[in-house]
Each structure stands twice: as structure tokens, then as C-alpha cells.
Structure 1
Amino acid sequence: MSMPINVFSEIGPLKTVMLHRPGKELGNLMPDYLKRLLFDDIPFLEQAQKEHDYFADILRKKEIEVLYLEDLAGDSLKNEKIRAQFINQYVAEACIHSQKLKEKVKIMLNEIADNRELIDKTIAGIQKVELTGYTAESLSDMIESDYPFIIDPMPNLYFTRDNFATIGNGISLNHMYSATRQRETIYGEYIFAYHPRFARKKVPKVYDRNEITRIEGGDELVLSNKVLAVGISQRTDAASIEKLAKNIFTKNLGFNCVLAFNIGNFRKFMHLDTVFTMVDYDKFTIHPEIEGMLEVYSIKPKSNGELKITKEEDSLEQILAKYLQRDFVQLIRCGDGNRAAAAREQWNDGSNTLTIAPGEVVVYDRNTVTNEALKKAGIKLNYVPGGELVRGRGGPRCMSMPLYRENLTE
């Protein structure tokens, strides 16, 4: 592999993927604070881990290399200087108001000798009862005296798709919608800067976590080696898409068009990939509820470095066929078009498929109506149990970050 990252499609045969196995951060979810942590329910951790292991095993059986974010991040702290820098940055971004408390937390983290254990702890969060002699010293801490955490857990991290996204040979290191998730991007920053696998060749960055407008990986889809699709959604600003497009065109990654899909600001649709994914050269899943309201804009580079932005007036099928240079495309509707089934199965990520090769996908087993529609369309399915993982509101695509796909020849 000449470049450590190579993702020029959504459907090219998947060779390397990054996952995060759910850990103690899910055990730190509490009913009173679910909204703060962007959860609707509390998964049963042990069962969620079994389901996630099953997911990873499916990929391995397909001869896909599975890497874990927590291992990569731990291996990135390869000397004391980088390790100290990581701890300082993590604590600085952890919303701790008291300087004395920050120093106590740094001491606690520095006492964890093993780098992988350190990463696990930073993901799990820190409860007040874990810090010997904790007392509230700032006004903010006193007002939040009933809140059990010094540092919030990161329960959303098993959705590795969001905090950064691979595009071509580069990465979009994202600025997240919520402060709860913004700290997740620290791991990507260290992995791509310091891990030997990625540091040996400088990985182009097409978006930076220090930008002030938000974008998340669930909204970023690589439709071909020329065309990207990015959702304007609850989690991604239109302004971010313009910044991303300018960076991509400037860095000459090969892409010449970004299609911006305006899917509206809704929790139930939070990302484009919760309502739309690519499963074959000319086949896509879609949630029928967005079709009537969907607006698509094409963004192309001008010779002077500015952007040409055009509202596309055709049907979605015609727009996709035109930009992918296909005679036609097929939209496979979540719930097979039935309104009740579509609403239920989209909520359980029926449209959130991970394509591992053209016409072959990984899906949750529970979305029986949508899965049958995919089978009728000639798509090969690999099933993952979806009882507990789905409670985080994300499916197989959300839970995976492709690092290397074979390039398509067709």
C-alpha cells in the first residue's frame, strides 16, 4: 500500500477498517444525563460488546483487516513528550473549571503507566468518587454538585465514522456538533500525526477540528473518485461543506464535484448516512421520508479558486445517474416503501449499511422488511445482531471507518 489511506468510493472492496469496541464509557451512562451525552437509551454493555465482536468477526472472515481506535491511539503515544502533550490537551478540553482540579486529574492520568489503559480511561470518563479528596472549588462545580462526573464519558465513540472521515488519500478531521463529542477528535489528531503507520507519509487534511463550523463523518460519502456527497443536517453546517470543498479541490485529491444534500435539521435524520447509503455501482438505500423535501446542490471549482454552486432541479435518480455517469440508478427504499415499516426501520438504521464490496453489505438483522428489499434488488447481506448497539442510534456504516478500499475499475 503506497498510501496508508485510500478511499475513493463507498463500495470498493474493503481491505482495512477502524473500529472502537464499546467499553466502560457505556457503563457510565445514566438516565438523567442521556440527552447531554446524545443517547436515547442505555445499552447493556456486555451484550453490546458481543454484538460488536460479531461485527468485527464478519469483517475478518471477509479478509478485512480490523484495527481498533484505542490500540492505534495508545501506540501513537510513543514517547514521554507526546504522552504528556496528549494528557495536557485532553484535560484542557475536558471542561474542568478549577486549575487545581485540572492538576489533580493530570496526576491521576500520569499514574496510569500503560498507554492503552490510559486511552481507555480517557474514553470512559472520570467520576468524582474516583479522585481521592475531591472537593468542589469553582462556582460551576458547586452549582453542578449533584453531577457525578469530573470528565464526561464518550459513549458515542463506537460510531467511529463521525469524528473523522477518510476521503481519497486524506482525512477530514471534524469539528463536532456537540462538545460531548468534540474530544473524540483528539484521538484522530494523534493517530494521524504520530502513529508509525500514518506518520511515515503525511496524510492530507481536508478539514480541521479547530474550524468553528461543524461537520461530521456520517454526512460525508465518497460516491466515486470524482464525486462526494455531503449532508446538510443537524450535525453539519452548509458553511462547512464550502470549506471542505475548497480544501479538497485545492489539494488536488482528484475530486471535481461535491453534491450537498439538504436533509433538514432533525434528530431522527441526524446524518446523511442514516437515510442514504450506496450499496452498488448503481444502487442506493434511501429513507422515503426525505425524498419530498430533499434539495441537492452541486459544488464545483472555478478557475479563480472560487466555487460554482448550482441547485440541481432533476429527480434524485437523475442527479445521481448524471454525476456517476450511469444510465440509471435504483433507489431501494427503507421499509420497502411502507410508511410504518420505513419509520420503524430507519430509526433502527435500516438505511445505514456498510458496503464491503460492490453489491455486498453488512446490516442489522432486525430490519427485516428493508433487508428483504435489499435482497430482492440483488444485494448480498451479512447480518449483525442489532439488539443493543442500535440503542446508540447508529448502524454498521456508523460503526466503521474504512482506511483502505481497493479502487474500482468499472
Structure 2
Amino acid sequence: MTSDTRIGPNALPDTRARRVVEQLLDGSGVALNGNSPWDIQVNHPDLFPRILHQGSLGLGESYMDGWWDCERIDEMAHLLLRHGLGEHVNTPSERLMYRLQNGFFNLQSKARAYIVGEAHYDLGNDLFERMLDPTMCYSCGYWKDASTLHQAQVAKLDLAARKLDLKPGMRVLDIGCGWGSFAEHAARHYGVEVTGITISKEQAALARERCEGLPVEILLQDYRDLTGCYDRIVSIGMFEHVGHRNYHTYFNTVESLLAEDGMFLLHTIGSNNSDISVDPWVNKYIFPNGVLPSVMHIAKASEGHLLMEDWQNFGADYDRTLMAWLENFDTHWNEIADRYSERIRRMFRYYLSVFAGAFRARHLQLWQIVYSRGRPGRYDAPR
């Protein structure tokens, strides 16, 4: 049977694997070949054993292969996570393998730091330019007073700048600068000098182009190789790539680079628990070697290095951000379809949708944390 052959509910093979999947879905609000936009439409009879044997990896890869479809994957993911199926994402062998790997190897070592840049961020600036807004922010927008993606991203950049109390002439370090969105915003609107670092060649090239004429330097460099002294340090959407074995090194590095009266803002996706695990599909196709920190991870790693001044959670805003990216991606896909495969299209649609559903279910969080080295007086964080 070809991958694009639709089979009706009455034609589904009556197998044990299918019955197990139906039992898992029971009560979730998601059905097989149902009429709701979030129902799974089965295109291949071997879908069920593949999902049961391969877990999250099998679910994601089978969608990329066209074995199933769903009009609203975001809501499907939301309902399944609310139903508690997130606990079944990894198979026992996958959990064991990841623990063994982390026990013997530093998966986010300096030697491996550039893997995620090559695998994801270097995929193609043309794709990200069509998916993101003109700021080229690839992190959660701040939708408090925004009605468009662009407004939300500008608001996020300005929120970070105001929390850091930027003043003209300050030296600012941007760890994980991406395509230069914060560096450009801070230099243009606050008159600061910015050094931005990234592990993506494509990001560095475009960031330099976007920041031309501004007091901004973009370096292709790992954070562990940094030297100097900075009045302010910011890291937006990069800590997810640091890895738990390197958290103390990260905060030690930030402390060593931060001026005595300096401030540091950390913007990161966060996990609700402290288990060291990864989604195998995300690890293979989207963010290799990425690990989400928990509150405990961050608190323990920063203790003894910096003083936490403020902690804000606006993770609910990531749902809306991801759905806006998905709309942009779908709207502009025809402009780049000749340069990317259908499998890449389905991969990105699945990734954006599932993450939106995870934030909608409050399965993931988004934190902005402000640190100092013990500045005098009270700190009142802008909101």
C-alpha cells in the first residue's frame, strides 16, 4: 500500500497494535479516522506497530512519511498531553540509551557544540525568513499588548532591553545571538555596543548583514571560549542547547564575563520536571543534543554565581508564537518548495504544531530570569 492511500475505519486491520493504540487514545478526545480536525487520519496499516515500537520517533517519522494526517496537529498534541500520554513518549529502550549516553558522554561538549547549528539553523535562511517575522526572532514573542507576530517580537526584545536597564555606551554580550535580532534592536534603540556569538554559519552571515553600520560584532564562537568584561549579558533561546552537564560551566562563564555592577538576562524554554530526557524525534530532526532545564537545574547551577532578581513565566505566549510561525510557513511555502522536499515541509509542520500543543497544555514553559552580582537597592522588573 502506498503512503498516500487512505484506508477507511472499517478497513483498519484488527490487530493487537491497533487495539492498544485505541486504548491509549480512549478518553483523550482524539479518535482514529474521526470527523474532528484533531483526529488522526490513518493512511498506512502498519502505523500502529510502528508507533508502539518506536514511540515518539515512530509517530513523528510516520507523519513525515505520510502514514497519517491530521488537520490540527497542534490541538491533537494538546489533547494527548492533557490526557497524560506524554509519559509514553519514550520507549524504555530509548530512556535507557539516553541515560547511558549522558552517563558516559558530554553530549553538549565544545567538540559537539556546532552540531545543532549545522543540522537546524544552517538549513536555509530563505526558509526561516519566510517563517519568522522581520526581526528574525526565533524565540517566544511577548503578546501582552501585541496583536501581530511582529509586534510581539519587538515587545519581547524591548522587554529584555528594559529589564537590563540598557544605557548608551554600555558593552553588551549576546550569547546565542541568532540572526542578530536583539543585537540590532539594542544597538539601534539603546545606543549600546553589542558582541553577539552563534554556532551557526548561516546565522552569523545574515546577522552581520542585518547589523551593518551598527556598533555590533558577530562572532562564530562557543560561549566557553569567551573573554572580556561586559556591562550586560543576554541569552535568548540558547540555554536549551547547553546541557545539564555544562550548566555550572555556563554560569561560571557568565559570572566571569559580567562587570561588578552588571546584569544578566536568561530567556529559555523550561521543563516542569528535572528528569534528564529528550524527545527522540526532536533530538534527531530539530534540535540535536538539546535538553530543557527545570527550575531546580537553573537554581542549583546559578547558586553561588549570581543573585536572581526576577523570574517571569510567559510560556502561554509561545503557543501563539508557534501558530503564527506555522501560518507564515504554510503561506509562503510555495516560494521555496522547489528547494526543499515534501518531507521537510511535513517535518516543520509537525514540529511547530506539536510544540504549540505542548505549550497550550502547559507541558512546557518559557522563562525570563534576571540576575545581578548583588546590585544595591531594590530591582523592579518591567512587565
What TM-score do the two structures reach when normalised by structure 1? 0.27
Q: Which has the higher strand share?
A: 1
